[in-house]
Amino acid sequence: MNSDAARITQMAGEFKIAFSGISLAIVPLMDPRLPLLGVFQSLYEQSADSPVIITRKDGTRHSSQRLFDVLSAAASVPGAGLRGDLLVFTAMHGVTRIGDAIDQADLRDPSSPLLEFTRHLRNACAHGNRWHFRGAEPKFPAALRGRTIDSSMHGSQAVNGWLGFGDYLDLLDDLAHHFRGLTGQGAIV
């Protein structure tokens, strides 16, 4: 059993759960009726005037804005901006982390179109969410579920451009399946 492959399989599952949870959490965050205020009031016994405490590494407070003000500001951001930015960021973070884990575990395989796709997508996420190809890249076939990438895409948007949010979840599923096969474990039902 390859422990690095098992860790990557677990990461893919965790990133899928996190993305799905954030996707659901954004809806009430953007609701101008502030349904989250009721959650904070009933579950956490906080009032609209309670401070939202965000601390620095040294423990000092960055902000003590009122809960109502923070939720009002979040609800006033146009839906596409907040929803798009948070979900794009979440997907980019997951791709970067899992791509780095593959490299650090020395599990890169140029003969795997899925792993080559992941490598190039990780690089795109590190270059401002734009596909970034040098010279004759991609040198090896790079694809996700039969959709290939090529150098003509250089500079175009990767996540929420070429890669939709459902495609991101497919990527995580495919990576989990790929690395689960390296661990000697069967599919998880």
pLDDT confidence bin for 80, thresholds 50/70/90: very low
> Quick one: average pLDDT of 46-70?
84
Q: What are φ and ψ of residue 65, in 5° steps?
A: -60, 155
Number of Cβ within a 10 Å radius of residue 98: 24
Residue at 90: amino acid letter: T
pLDDT confidence bin for 28, thresholds 50/70/90: confident
